[in-house]
Amino acid sequence: MFQRADDPRARLISEIISELRLYSAHSQHIGDAFAARNQLGNADLHALILIMEAELSGQPITPGALREELNFSSGSVTGVIDRLEAAGHVYRDRDTADRRKIFLRYAEPGAAVAREFFRPLARRTEEVMKQFTDEDLATVHRFLSLMVTSMREHRDELRR
């Protein structure tokens, strides 16, 4: 049986982990709704998120790096990219320094669809963020970054 800890710190940690699980579950449902409305499969949606995040970080992802992130075969990841490209969500872009290298970019038609779908969530997110100081947000950002790193490391261990 699941029980909350008696120690205040342990209880707080338990509550944070509970909230992260619920956030993940709700996020999955929202992602599923976006995917269903745009005829995307789970792998397509995951790939699209990875492509978008890479683009936002200023380091676009290559098909090979996407394949590694998804843990797919070359043929499978090519199929995902082809579907996303055909639907207008992404496009292949050649590296100007090395024309053999391909980057995957988030296409404007797909970005417009995503902005429209996620606009209400963005407004809700902005309202939540307004409740926190810049220092609070920096702490939350550091926490989430470390949690993402921890989850990625665990994911990678599970793949071995």
- Residue-wise pLDDT tens digits, 129-152: 999 999 999 999 999 999 999 999
Closest CA to 33 of 109, 118, 128: 118
The helix or strand, by DSSP H or E, that contains position 103, with its residue range, turns out to be strand 102-106
Residue range 51-89, pLDDT digits in tens: 999 999 999 999 999 999 999 999 999 999 999 999 999
pTM above 0.75, yes or no: yes
pLDDT band at 100 (very low <50, low <70, confident <90, very high): confident
pLDDT of residue 116: 97
Q: Are 47 and 81 in contact (CB under 8 A)?
A: yes
- At CA 91, angle to CA 41 and CA 103, rounded to 5? 105
DSSP H helices, the chain, are: 8-37, 42-56, 63-70, 74-86, 108-129, 134-159
- Enumerate the β-bridge partners of residue 92: 104
- Determine what percent of the chain is predicted with pLDDT higher than 90: 91
Closest CA to 106 of 35, 51, 38, 56: 51
